[in-house]
């Protein structure tokens, strides 16, 4: 799925979250050193790594989660009915799975960076949910990658509603 599909589904899930008073999280995933791999090893290796990571994502997320390739080196996953803690745990599990593997053909060790945000506790709108997950991803990539970052809302942020723990 692509950026347009992601935007449509994010709007739908945000509306559902508001109606049901359940959280929706977004996880943004980026392959570390993606462009360096492309430059040094070529497009075929890059595409193989992208396919491998996409397969890991597909096998790790639930059937109702929505994964979309939103940029050349970014996959966004919409996690309905998932609070930030669950999204962060899923992101870390995925990061570890990718880290423990390698692309056999090229022998390249791959890793990913993951940025996570959630509505309602960390973002108050669809654009904010998307932007805050991107900010978290960019922050962790600037720190060297191969980690997960959960966005931290400003101190004066007030959520629209509180998610009740299960």
Flag whether 144 is in a domain: yes
Flag whether 49 is in a domain: yes
Q: Which domain holds residue 82?
A: 3-150
- pLDDT value of position 165: 63
Q: Give this prediction's pTM.
A: 0.93
Partnered with residue 134 across adjacent β-strands are none
CATH of the domain at 93: 3.30.70.270
pLDDT in tens, the chain (166 residues): 899 999 999 999 999 999 999 999 999 999 999 999 999 999 998 999 999 999 999 999 999 999 999 999 999 999 999 999 999 999 999 999 999 986 655 678 899 999 999 999 999 999 999 999 999 999 999 999 999 999 998 888 888 888 766 5
Flag whether 82 is in a domain: yes
Flag whether 159 is in a domain: no
- pLDDT value of position 105: 53
Number of domains in the chain: 1
Flag whether 29 is in a domain: yes
Flag whether 166 is in a domain: no
């Amino acid at each position: 799925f692509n950026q347009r599909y992601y935007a449509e589904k994010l709007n739908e899930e945000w509306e559902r979250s508001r109606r049901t008073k359940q959280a929706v999280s977004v996880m943004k995933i980026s392959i570390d050193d993606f462009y360096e791999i492309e430059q040094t090893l070529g497009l075929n290796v890059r595409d193989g790594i992208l396919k491998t990571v996409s397969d890991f994502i597909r096998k790790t997320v639930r059937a109702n989660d929505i994964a979309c390739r939103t940029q050349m080196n970014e996959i966004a996953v919409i996690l309905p009915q998932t609070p930030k803690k669950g999204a962060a745990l899923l992101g870390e599990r995925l990061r570890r799975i990718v880290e423990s593997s390698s692309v056999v053909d090229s022998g390249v060790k791959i890793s990913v960076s993951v940025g996570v945000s959630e509505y309602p506790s960390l973002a108050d709108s669809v654009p904010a949910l998307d932007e805050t997950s991107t900010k978290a991803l960019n922050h962790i990539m600037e720190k060297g990658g191969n980690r997960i970052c959960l966005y931290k809302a400003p101190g004066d942020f007030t959520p629209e509603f509180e998610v009740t723990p299960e």
